[in-house]
Amino acid sequence: MNNILISVVGPTAIGKTKLGILLANYFKTEIISADSRQFFKEMNIGTAVPDKEELAQAKHNFIQHKSVLETYTVGDFEREALQKLSHLFEKHKVVIMVGGSGLYVNAITEGLNNFPTVDPNIRKQLNAELENSGIAALQTKLKELDPTYYGKVDINNPQRVIRALEVTIGSGTPYSSFVNQPKEKRNFNVLTIGLKAERAMIYDRINKRVDLMIDNGLLEEAKNMLSFKNLNALQTVGYKELFKYFEGDWTLDFAVSEIKKNTRRFAKRQLTWFLRNKNTIWVNYDYEPKKLLNEIDDEIKKLKHG
């Protein structure tokens, strides 16, 4: 248990990439990305993938290594990332993980619940139902089949609702019955660093980032993805709003304002998720690098000495 995974978390646009690179260079190690939308090579601007300069500063893994046309689940990520970690820990005592996708972070730090394999056609049928009837029909179905999970899940998140229904229908057992089962212990220590800021500051950074994405060509990137709009990967803030614009439902100004609003809501959900981990060390976004590195060194010593 001498190996340590430093997990950098926090809301979108807070500066996780910058801190991850600082830590990777300090510890002379590599970064694993746990951002579930940065996995896809077709989604670049809208997912705030580290730019060429940032990627050159530290070795990143799990960045744009999949196509939106491929099915890639959190279970796939858990398996592949743990395998990668085992190789990295042969060369490095410390590895950095950076990402704001809470479920994907937890998959590595704690482990996933053990869900059964189900027929992939069920998901296709549910996606078709989402397209034809909207999310309300799926919400009603989940409430009937698994009221326990319905009361806990973000019912406005189509991926979560579809995943719960997929498992429930495919296994004949409520999704909630698979949750919180004993999980496999990790053979490394985890040190979680959370970046924080005043809410007004987070929202300001989000608004500026969205404007920058538009300036950098998000419109064209999203237009090129229009034919893939029903894929799970594209049920993502920044794309789904622009699809409404391309289809004539919204004006561009309204679509951009919705991207900002939905990104702010997403950041709020991220904070709620990460605040549940009472072991997280919270650091202000404008930290002093040398002081922070000293504090992290101290925390690592504590971990190693129990």
Asked if residue 192 belongs to a known ligand binding site, the reply is: no
Asked if residue 217 belongs to a known ligand binding site, the reply is: no
| Maximal CA-CA distance, the chain | 61
Asked if residue 15 belongs to a known ligand binding site, the reply is: yes
CB 164 within 8 A of CB 139: no
Asked if residue 28 belongs to a known ligand binding site, the reply is: no
The residue type of 76 is: D
Asked if residue 14 belongs to a known ligand binding site, the reply is: yes
Asked if residue 155 belongs to a known ligand binding site, the reply is: no
Asked if residue 296 belongs to a known ligand binding site, the reply is: no
Q: Which of left, alpha, beta for 62 (phi over 0: left; psi -120 to 50: alpha)?
A: left
Asked if residue 290 belongs to a known ligand binding site, the reply is: no
In angstroms, the Cα distances linking 4 to 34, 77, 172, 187 are: 16, 19, 40, 9
Q: What number of CA atoms fall less than 13 Å from residue 6's CA on the CB side?
A: 28
What does residue 287 show for φ and ψ, rounded to 5 degrees? -55, 160
CB atoms within 10 A of CB 244: 15
3-state secondary structure of 32: strand
Binding-site residue ranges for substrate: 12-17
Report the binding-site residues for ATP: 10-17
Annotated binding site: 10-17
